[in-house]
Amino acid sequence: MACLSTGRRLHCSAAALAARAIDPAVASWLLASHCSEETGHALALQALGLTPLIGIGLRLGEGSGAALCVPLLQLAIRLHNEMATFAEVRRDGEGLMFPYTLTLLRHGDIDHEGRLIGQTDLPANDSGITQMARSWQRLNSLAPVTSMATSPLQRCREFAVYQALQAALPLKVDERFAEIDFGDWDGMSLNSLSAQHPDWRQALVRHQLVPPGGESYALFRQRVLEAFTTGLPPRTAATGCWSPTAASSPC
């Protein structure tokens, strides 16, 4: 079920209430993706006896809540279909399950010069490279990294490629791990942006503001989740560099 729309569009929750009134068996086929900020939506979900999968204060319409839940459902299906059962695990310690730790490693410093940098492709500076090298050494001292994934942006990609070559690790470059597209804001002075939108960071995360010509936070979140649920091989550790960089090692 998507969100409760406004205006004269079909209200998904209202349609679900009508459908259940016609045939109660419909209830077992309903899934609430999220709970809208609209008061009527919470009341409708309560009447339907449904608990939403997420609650992040959306009120965007156009089925945005349902779209956000698709990666979660894909992940649940993969867990159901691909995770080994206890019966499939050998008792001699050589089981078929291969748990791993996923570690997110953020890129190091860049020469942003007080500007907002999203998909502008700046490299890490010398200090940033040193920061990532120290973090990488620390990660490997805890447990060896077995594979990596990275954003295509050079502040992440160059370090990931170097480490993958040095350690002969498989590396996946995935554009879905790239930083959010800030559109017209990209490269803008942070002081100027804050003067125009004092709470722009909070408004962006709360889905109250979208960068002009850029990407909404909801779409950014969706593509990153999709990259994790569909882009990484099962039972494989991963190191990814996007604005964060991700690394992982077996437990």
The CATH number fitting domain 96-250, selected from 3.40.50.1240, 1.10.287.610, 3.30.360.10, 3.40.190.10: 3.40.50.1240
Specify the pLDDT at position 61: 67
What is the residue extent of each domain of the chain?
12-83, 96-250
Phi, psi of 189 (to 5 degrees): -60, 130
Query: pLDDT per residue over 51-79, tens digit each?
Result: 888 877 777 666 777 788 888 888 888 88
Residue 160 pairs in a beta bridge with none
Amino acid at 213: G
133, 149, 120, 117: which is closest to 224 by C-alpha? 149
Phi, psi of 88 (to 5 degrees): -85, -10
Taking CA atoms, 61 is separated from 29, 48, 235, in Å, by 22, 20, 37
pLDDT band for position 7 (cuts 50, 70, 90): very low
DSSP class of 8: T
pTM greater than 0.75:
no
**Upper half-sphere CA count for residue 45 (Cβ side, 13 Å):** 22
Name residue, tokens 């990275």. Answer: 150
Residue-level pLDDT at 30 = 86
d(CA 223, CA 230): 10
